[in-house]
Amino acid sequence: MKILSYNVKNFRQLEYIKMLPESVKQEIEIVSRVLPFKANNYVTDYLIDWKNYETDPCYILTFPNRHMLPEDDYQKIKWAVVNNKAQHEITQIANNIRLSLNPHPAQQQSNIPSLNGEPLPGVQHKYRDIALFFPTQGQTCHANCTFCFRWPQFVKDLDLQFSMKEIDRVCDYFRQHEHLHELLFTGGDPMIMSPRTISKYIDTIFKANLKNLKTIRFGTKSLTWWPFVFLPQYNEEAQEMLDLFKRIVDKGIHLSIMAHFNHYQEMGNSAVAEAIANIRATGAEIRTQSPLLNNINASAEVWEKMWDQQVNMGMIPYYMFIERETGPYGYFQVPLAKAYDIFTNAIRYTSSLAKTVTGPSMSAAMGKAQIMGIIENPVNGEKYFQIQYIRHRDVNQSYKPFLMHYDENATWIDQLKPVDSFIK
């Protein structure tokens, strides 16, 4: 199976796109000057329901629309494109808009550690036991999801990328931090790399013989957006990838594939089921995660069905995230109160095996803040969010529930007011 990629330059060649109104095609062209998109022939041929494209979750995940930008910004970039302004002028306007979209939420840059006084630009170390590694060759993705908080990684004009190739320096960093037990390959999507490229990283890790490295994780959307990465009958490199997984497991290292699933519609094809079975046969486990996204999956029914289906297919539901305040978040964000309602109304009906999932959780500057409940003061009727950090920069601050004043419209923890006193 040959991958055919589509972006703003060639998407009009797609037969499905030809059927869309001209105004929709123009919107895609205009918005993608700011937020680039990417599609492939599996997504367009098998995942998108083109008859209902306006509400189809896989279409909205793939193609930008004008509502993903603030109206003023949309008009600015539209003016430049429609009036055929010089490329450098369009780029300047696009970059100004990008910089106003909070490209590095949750102070990600402050997570870059140093080794012997020199920064490790492709590593983030926020929590005691896990480091994120951004391999240079894995900083693109099978998708450029319209909602993605890593979108600056895909925008070449911004000097905002994290990445590095020197895995030996990462190994040295592990040696100096005995509490580090896990390494997460992330991006972009590390599964965009060839098995040969990933093997070079893994072989260096093996040679380093790190006693404290117990788990390797790969964050990826390939299972749903290009499952042929794991299907040898369609892709000559797939067996090599599966063999690499097996080598990691045989080395005694726990391997976890962190799969991005945003909607149960992504699980409907036999190719996905087969890819899951092939991965599991290597001894790797698959955990699933997604943000809660307005216009895509903001209903309890979608999550209940998605989690149950994941369990039935042999995967482990892991995280429901709150959409971060970055990129087109105005279009995708769901208020915390509604998110909690969706979470509880989904989880209470799932099988027990799906209750492994944690959420709704915000990946905030200090850590992963989970909404545990909404409670009411019996004395005065005031409402509060009960929150805890399930991960915190300071491990001693995790799993300590606290209250914040309820706000029906708040979409992030920093919009909530702390509680001075519960009983008034």
Contact 399, 393 (CB under 8 A): no
Q: Which is nearer to ligand SF4, 141 or 342 (CB)?
A: 141
Number of residues interacting with ligand SF4: please give it, by CB under 6 A. Answer: 10
Residues 6+ apart with CB under 8 A from 16: 44, 48, 50, 53
CA–CA separation, 185 and 132 (whole Å): 6
Q: Minimal distance in Å, beta carbon 136 to ligand SF4?
A: 15
Q: Which is nearer to ligand SF4, 152 or 367 (CB)?
A: 152
Q: Which is nearer to ligand SF4, 126 or 260 (CB)?
A: 260
Could you please report the per-residue DSSP string of 91-124? HHHHHHHHHTT-SSGGGGGGG--EETTEE-TTEE
Q: Minimal distance in Å, beta carbon 141 to ligand SF4?
A: 3
CA–CA separation, 238 and 278 (whole Å): 10
Selected range binding ligand SF4 among 14-22, 77-85, 141-149, 386-394, rule: CB under 6 A: 141-149
Selected range binding ligand SF4 among 140-148, 195-203, 323-331, 407-415, rule: CB under 6 A: 140-148
Q: Minimal distance in Å, beta carbon 61 to ligand SF4?
A: 8
Q: Which is nearer to ligand SF4, 189 or 325 (CB)?
A: 189
Helix (H) or strand (E) holding 244: helix 238-250
Beta strands in 139-264 (DSSP E): 182-185, 215-220, 254-260
**Closest to 262 (Cα-Cα) out of 344, 315, 320:** 320
Q: Which is nearer to ligand SF4, 173 or 317 (CB)?
A: 317
Q: Which is nearer to ligand SF4, 326 or 411 (CB)?
A: 326
Among 98, 125, 221, 287, binds ligand SF4 (CB under 6 A): 221
- Per DSSP, the three-state class of 11 is helix
- Per DSSP, the three-state class of 321 is strand
Q: Minimal distance in Å, beta carbon 178 to ligand SF4?
A: 30
Q: Which is nearer to ligand SF4, 154 or 303 (CB)?
A: 154
Q: Minimal distance in Å, beta carbon 368 to ligand SF4?
A: 17
Q: Minimal distance in Å, beta carbon 220 to ligand SF4?
A: 7
Q: Is 260 in the site for ligand SF4 (CB under 6 A)?
A: yes
CA–CA separation, 246 and 259 (whole Å): 18
Among 27, 56, 182, 189, binds ligand SF4 (CB under 6 A): 189
Position 187: which residue type? G
Among 80, 132, 141, 167, binds ligand SF4 (CB under 6 A): 141
**Closest to 329 (Cα-Cα) out of 415, 209, 220, 253:** 415
Cis peptide before 360 (omega within 30 of 0): yes
Tell me the Cα Rg of the chain: 22
Q: Which is nearer to ligand SF4, 278 or 326 (CB)?
A: 326
- Per DSSP, the three-state class of 348 is coil
Q: Is 263 in the site for ligand SF4 (CB under 6 A)?
A: no
Residue window 383-412: x/- pattern of binding to ligand SF4, with contact defined by CB under 6 A: ------------------------------
Contact 162, 124 (CB under 8 A): yes
Selected range binding ligand SF4 among 143-151, 164-172, 199-207, 363-371, rule: CB under 6 A: 143-151
| Subset of 145-164 contacting ligand SF4 (CB under 6 A) | 145, 148, 150
| Subset of 289-348 contacting ligand SF4 (CB under 6 A) | none
Q: Is 62 in the site for ligand SF4 (CB under 6 A)?
A: no
Q: Minimal distance in Å, beta carbon 40 to ligand SF4?
A: 12
Cis peptide before 188 (omega within 30 of 0): yes
Among 120, 132, 143, 413, binds ligand SF4 (CB under 6 A): 143
Distances (CA, A) of 28 to 25, 36, 65: 5, 9, 6
Beta strands in 121-181 (DSSP E): 123-127, 130-133
Could you please report the per-residue DSSP string of 372-416? EEEEE-TTT--EEEEEEEEEESSGGGTT--EEEE--TT--SGGGS
Q: Minimal distance in Å, beta carbon 195 to ligand SF4?
A: 19
Give the footprint of ligand SF4 on this chain (CB under 6 A): 141, 143-145, 148, 150, 187, 189, 221, 260
